[in-house]
A and B are shown apart, each in its own frame.
Chain A
Amino acid sequence: MEKKREIRITEVALRDGSHAIRHQFTVDQVTKIARGLDEAKVPVIEVSHGDGLGGSSLQYGLSLTNEMELIEVAASVVNHSKIAVLLLPGIGTMPELKQAANLGAKMARIATHVTEADVSPQHIALAKELGMETVGFLMMSHMVPTTKLVEQAKLMESYGADCVYVVDSAGALLPHEVRERIRALTNELTVEVGFHAHNNLSLAMANTLVAIEEGATRIDGSIRCLGAGAGNTQTEVLVSVLDRMGVHTGVDHYKLMDVAEDLVAPVLEKPQEITKDSLVLGYAGVYSSFLLHTRKAAERFGLDPRDILIELGRQKIVGGQEDMIVDVAADIAKQRNITEKV
Chain B
Amino acid sequence: MNKIKVAILGSGNIGTDLMIKLDRSEILEITTMIGIDPNSDGLQRARELGYETIDNGINGFLERPELADIVFDATSAKAHIRHAKLLKQIGKQVLDLTPAAVGPFVVPPVNIEEHLNADNINLITCGGQATIPIVHAIDRIQLVDYAEIVATISSKSAGPGTRANIDEFTQTTARGIEKIGGAKKGKAIIILNPAEPPIIMRDTIHVLVEGKYVDQDRIMASIREMEKEVQSYVPGYKIRQEPVFDGNRITVFIEVEGAGDYLPTYSGNLDIMTAAAVKVAEEWAKHKLSKVTVEERG
Q: Which of B165-173, B209-217, B271-279 contacts A (4 or more CB under 8 A)?
A: B165-173
Is A89 within 8 A of B148, CB to CB? no
- CB A26 to nearest CB in B, in angstroms, measures 23
Is B167 within 8 A of A93, CB to CB? yes
Is A318 within 8 A of B241, CB to CB? no
Known: A58-B249, A59-B204, A89-B166. Is A321-B244 also a contact (CB below 8 A)?
A: no
Cβ-neighbour of A94 out of B167, B187, B189, B190 (below 8 A):
B167
**For residue B206, which residues in chain A have a CB less than 8 angstroms away from its CB?**
57-59
Q: What class of interface size applies to chain A in its complex with B?
A: 20 to 34
Chain B 199-213 interface 0/1 with A at a Cβ cutoff of 8 Å (1 = within): 000101010100000
A-facing residues in B149-200 (Cβ within 8 Å)? 150, 152, 155, 160, 163-167, 169-171, 187, 189-195
Chain A 102-122 interface 0/1 with B at a Cβ cutoff of 8 Å (1 = within): 000000000001011011011
B291 interface hit (Cβ, 8 Å): no
B169, B189, B244, B253: residue with the most chain A Cβ atoms closer than 10 Å: B189
Complex Cα spacing A240 to B194, Å = 39
Is B193 within 8 A of A330, CB to CB? no
- CB B135 to nearest CB in A, in angstroms, measures 13
B148, B190, B192, B241: residue with the most chain A Cβ atoms closer than 10 Å: B192
Is B253 within 8 A of A327, CB to CB? yes
**For residue B202, which residues in chain A have a CB less than 8 angstroms away from its CB?**
323-324, 327
A-facing residues in B117-157 (Cβ within 8 Å)? 146, 148, 150, 152, 155
A315 interface hit (Cβ, 8 Å): yes
Is A122 within 8 A of B253, CB to CB? no
**For residue A320, which residues in chain B have a CB less than 8 angstroms away from its CB?**
150, 189, 191
Is B187 within 8 A of A119, CB to CB? no
Cβ-neighbour of A326 out of B189, B192, B251 (below 8 A):
B251
Cβ-neighbour of B163 out of A58, A119, A324, A326 (below 8 A):
A119
Complex Cα spacing A113 to B171, Å = 21
Known: A90-B170, A327-B241. Is A113-B251 also a contact (CB below 8 A)?
A: no
- CB B242 to nearest CB in A, in angstroms, measures 7
A268 interface hit (Cβ, 8 Å): no
Cβ-neighbour of B187 out of A57, A315, A318 (below 8 A):
A57
**For residue A89, which residues in chain B have a CB less than 8 angstroms away from its CB?**
166-167
Cβ-neighbour of A321 out of B164, B191, B240, B251 (below 8 A):
B191
Is B166 within 8 A of A90, CB to CB? yes
**For residue A58, which residues in chain B have a CB less than 8 angstroms away from its CB?**
146, 148, 206, 208, 249, 251
Complex Cα spacing A142 to B150, Å = 24
- CB B99 to nearest CB in A, in angstroms, measures 14
Complex Cα spacing A331 to B240, Å = 10
**For residue A93, which residues in chain B have a CB less than 8 angstroms away from its CB?**
167, 170-171
Cβ-neighbour of B191 out of A57, A122, A315, A318 (below 8 A):
A318
B-facing residues in A84-101 (Cβ within 8 Å)? 89-91, 93-94
A93 to B, closest residue via Cβ: B167
A316 interface hit (Cβ, 8 Å): yes
**For residue A330, which residues in chain B have a CB less than 8 angstroms away from its CB?**
241-242
A27 interface hit (Cβ, 8 Å): no
Complex Cα spacing A89 to B163, Å = 9
Known: A58-B249, A330-B242. Is A116-B150 also a contact (CB below 8 A)?
A: no
Chain A 315-339 interface 0/1 with B at a Cβ cutoff of 8 Å (1 = within): 1111011011011001100000000
Complex Cα spacing A115 to B192, Å = 9
Known: A58-B208, A59-B204, A321-B152. Is A121-B164 also a contact (CB below 8 A)?
A: yes
**For residue A327, which residues in chain B have a CB less than 8 angstroms away from its CB?**
202, 204, 240-241, 253
Is A122 within 8 A of B189, CB to CB? no
Complex Cα spacing A94 to B171, Å = 10
Is A115 within 8 A of B155, CB to CB? yes
Known: A59-B150, A323-B253. Is A122-B167 also a contact (CB below 8 A)?
A: yes
**For residue A323, which residues in chain B have a CB less than 8 angstroms away from its CB?**
150, 152, 202, 204, 251, 253
Is B189 within 8 A of A91, CB to CB? yes
Complex Cα spacing A93 to B163, Å = 13
Is B195 within 8 A of A119, CB to CB? no
- CB A294 to nearest CB in B, in angstroms, measures 15
Complex Cα spacing A59 to B150, Å = 8
B169 to A, closest residue via Cβ: A90
Known: A58-B148, A326-B251, A327-B240. Is A116-B192 also a contact (CB below 8 A)?
A: yes
Seed contacts A317-B193, A327-B253; 20 additional CB < 8 Å A-B pairs: A57-B148, A57-B187, A58-B249, A59-B189, A59-B204, A59-B206, A90-B170, A93-B171, A113-B192, A113-B193, A115-B194, A116-B194, A119-B163, A119-B166, A122-B164, A122-B166, A321-B152, A323-B251, A327-B204, A327-B240
* Interchain Cβ contacts under 8 Å between A and B, 27 examples: A57-B148, A57-B187, A57-B189, A57-B206, A58-B148, A89-B167, A91-B170, A91-B189, A113-B194, A116-B192, A116-B194, A118-B163, A118-B164, A119-B166, A122-B164, A122-B166, A122-B167, A318-B193, A318-B194, A320-B191, A321-B152, A323-B202, A324-B202, A327-B202, A327-B204, A327-B240, A327-B241
Which positions in B face A, CB cutoff 8 Å? Answer: 146, 148, 150, 152, 155, 160, 163-167, 169-171, 187, 189-195, 202, 204, 206, 208, 240-242, 244, 249, 251, 253
For the complex of A and B, 9 pairs with smallest distance between CB atoms: A58-B206, A323-B204, A316-B195, A115-B194, A90-B190, A320-B191, A93-B167, A119-B166, A330-B241
